[in-house]
A and B are shown apart, each in its own frame.
Chain A
């Protein structure tokens, strides 16, 4: 199976815009192909491939908006799409309709794309699983996880002249290993599948699992911690969702107080869709170029990410962070970059005597959004830090902690960063963090 070329997607979008015959319409075309191989107990147990195309039409006029989306090669696709969107528009009550964006001068790059990823086969994925399974088996462990490769072609066109397209790829290997009395974890994500090192992932997961056998119980309390990049990604992703959106600010739901220092000067967080170390992508779901936004600068709250609707309300330009419009969710920061520091992981651990090292967080949920209080569990390797080194493993703990308070007490930042992807397909470039106080509640 193969995807259509970007020019063909734009031609399809143009044909729908012509058919609409109205001066305010937007078409988004996304073609997607992916393969995913899951493994459990050192065997492949699920193995899938998918190819699909989504076409989305937003029609505006007379202060009304209607949206129709079709996935699949249905008969008379353009006609059905236009008819459905027009029916929805005609019956929508008049309201505040955000105007379509006009073309900007943004480049159609950089884009996270690799020919090697686009060419990945089920046999290649099975080879990577075989590598992981063999390493685990030699260590007397069982491996569980998934390897995924995907190719996406995206085109956005509107009747005001916006015409954008991009070809992007992604590859991920996630591995959990199980021993008699404990688990380990490792992952790697990159746009280039050739950069996924299955041996290294397996070695890390096996090493963590080997350390994490026969965990002891420690009581709840406030501990200094070192969070691995896996755990930091969870923390920063939730922080973003709780406050980096301009809509959250406009609705008084955001913890952000622009100009005010809420966190340690060691903490800087930006949304940077062009960062070569992340998963770059040049435009949002409205075809607006995604600009870099500094959200936290040396602990001080700075700016928010915008879509056209929040930009209009705030009388500022959109930063190119729209989700499919219109929506009630608002803009979304999906390329988070946390500035690196100067410490090695060993130095962070050495500076956290009597604390805990946390490999991974799990099932993190908001408890008090305005105060950025979240709860969740540790998972797949939590260790005492004893004599400046990783010590005995401890049983998983529940934490309930304000993210802002934790980031206000950052004692050290790792100099190495890794790419993490969360469930919403947001890319984050994050280091390990040393934090002075982190509350574990059960």
Chain B
């Protein structure tokens, strides 16, 4: 790998690049799925290629190629330089990069059981047992379970002298049970919706999920939801489970604290941000209960690594400190605009994409409450579990979320299951209404595997540490 990178960098520099970096990536993905007791499939995906990013005449260029012979690498490096020259025709100011120490090192995801060494029989057996357990519940119409494992071997090298090798391993899985009636469809998922929950870890993470034990529960809940009443409507006290809190953090804090959005780099696609730099240090984003940090060192998080894809070391960056807006996730280029250093949040989906500012692990720090205490001290409200729908405007202010499951709370007790719950609000008003976050024992790192950004589109796996949390006076209603 190192030879490949050196060759590409040599050609780039000799072709006029004032800066160049090269990422050699080998990626393997194994996916297994079982559905409705009859469909079963195992698939594997191997991916290998090189991405070369350069600055020539002050403009950026990038070329990705999946052929690793010297001719193809040389051609790709020259193509990147040609593209950069085209870019430089439409730049008022040359690209500037914030300084970054030259890094030489290695990082490997720690794990107990290599998921690629676990037999397919063992994995398939787990899925079949989960699928059968869901099928055993009367009224369930479709049910499926899946696993996915990723191993990524990356080498980063730059013309500044950095050479970094990393091996990242992910394990994930999930299951869905759906019940239907003539006029309704209800789905429950475990441990999270939209496919699966995933972490940077080995197969031990899957063993800890207890698929078979939770399968009958979610299947029974999907059936029960068909006859459940709609979620109550009004300004209510809202308690979110950890998975929904994680997505709320993702959409309303993670994205607006990406500094490229503030610059307008994503204005035509992902959008901008309401959190402008003049607000740093003086804007009350949330209540005193709310501290949120981007932390690429969180054990098990999908955004955990040794260095980002610009060679900047993994670090923790406070975004919101006890309610006060404090800072951003940034890159070397965006940080340079403000005289800052990069926060080490540049990540690329694979060799064929440029790194962009992406969430690492954006964590809502644990508080001191508990789910039990929050419910016990709620007069009238709802406890909502597992995301079903999410939408937010391009500045990340006006949001509306829906969940699969809900419980109405009266006088400190869960009194009944409710369905089709929606809640809506404006980001700072919502986080300012947060009056409790559960403590470390209920805090867990969740994985989001469908975060889209950039053109060409990149899907990133990001992490969120979160625990159940409570909000007062939120607009809650039911979809109808």
**Residue positions of A touching B, CB distance < 8 A:** 1, 34-53, 65-74, 80, 84-85, 87-89, 91-96, 121-123, 125-126, 129-130, 133, 142, 144-146, 148, 174-176, 178, 251-253, 326-328, 362-371, 373, 375-377, 379, 396, 398, 400, 423, 441-442
Contact = CB atoms under 8 A, between A and B. Distances in A.
Given A39-B90, A144-B267, A367-B479, A71 B46 contact: yes
A45 B389 CA distance: 33
B158 to A, nearest CB: 18
A421 to B, nearest CB: 12
Interface in B171-194: 178, 180, 183-185
A39 B263 CA distance: 12
Interface in B94-152: 119-121, 124, 128, 141-142, 144
B337 to A, nearest CB: 12
Contact of B44 (A88, A327, A379): A88
B373 interface: no
B265 interface: yes
Given A44-B59, A95-B39, A69 B46 contact: yes
Interface stretch (B201-209, B302-310, B392-400, B460-468): B392-400
Contacts of A66: 41-43
B84 interface: yes
- Of A72, A88, A125, A145, most buried by chain B (CB within 10 Å of CB) is A72
B480 A368 contact: yes
A38 B398 contact: no
A91 B87 contact: no
List 8 A-B pairs, minimum CB-CB distance, nearest first: A72-B48, A67-B43, A88-B42, A91-B120, A122-B86, A72-B66, A144-B268, A144-B267
B83 interface: yes
Contact of A69 (B33, B45, B268): B45
Given A73-B67, A251-B178, A93 B124 contact: yes
A47 B61 contact: yes
A441 B480 CA distance: 13
A327 B31 CA distance: 11
Contacts of A364: 391
- Of B66, B82, B92, most buried by chain A (CB within 10 Å of CB) is B66
A79 B181 CA distance: 48
Nearest to A80: B46
A93 B125 CA distance: 9
B403 to A, nearest CB: 11
A47 B60 contact: yes
A168 B452 CA distance: 25
Contacts of B392: 363, 377
- Of A65, A363, A379, most buried by chain B (CB within 10 Å of CB) is A363
Contact of A50 (B59, B63, B89, B393): B63
Contacts, number: 256
B391 A44 contact: no
B229 interface: no
Interface residues of B, number: 81
Contact of A252 (B63, B87, B141): B141
Nearest to B64: A50
A251 B142 contact: yes
Given A40-B265, A53-B66, A1 B41 contact: no
Contacts of A67: 41-44
A49 B64 contact: yes
Interface in B30-62: 33-35, 38-49, 59-62
Nearest to A175: B268
Given A49-B79, A91-B120, A91-B124, A370 B183 contact: yes
Contacts of B6: none
Given A36-B455, A93-B128, A362 B394 contact: yes
B43 A377 contact: no
Contacts of B41: 65-67, 88, 92, 326-327
B4 interface: no
Given A146-B455, A363-B393, A251 B422 contact: no
Contact of B263 (A37, A40, A122): A40
Contacts of A365: 389-391
A35 to B, nearest CB: 8
A71 B66 contact: yes
A47 B62 contact: yes
A125 to B, nearest CB: 7
A91 B180 contact: no
5 contacts: A68-B45, A88-B44, A95-B39, A252-B180, A364-B391
B280 interface: no
B65 interface: yes
Contacts of A87: 44, 120
Given A72-B66, A148-B455, A40 B83 contact: no
Contact of A44 (B90, B268, B480): B90
Contacts of A39: 90
A92 B46 contact: no
B138 to A, nearest CB: 16
A71 B49 contact: yes
Given A91-B124, A328-B33, A377 B391 contact: yes
A122 B90 contact: no
B62 A366 contact: no
B68 interface: yes
B422 A367 contact: yes
B394 A379 contact: yes
B342 interface: no
Contacts of B440: none
A123 B86 contact: yes
Contacts of A36: 455-456
A70 B45 contact: yes
Contacts of B294: none
Given A71-B66, A122-B82, 12 more contacts: A47-B59, A84-B44, A91-B42, A93-B128, A175-B268, A364-B391, A368-B479, A377-B391, A377-B398, A379-B394, A400-B479, A442-B398
Given A52-B352, A362-B394, A93 B40 contact: yes
Contact of A363 (B75, B84, B391): B391
Contact of A47 (B34, B45, B86, B141): B86
Contacts of B89: 44, 126, 130
B49 A72 contact: yes
A1 B456 CA distance: 19
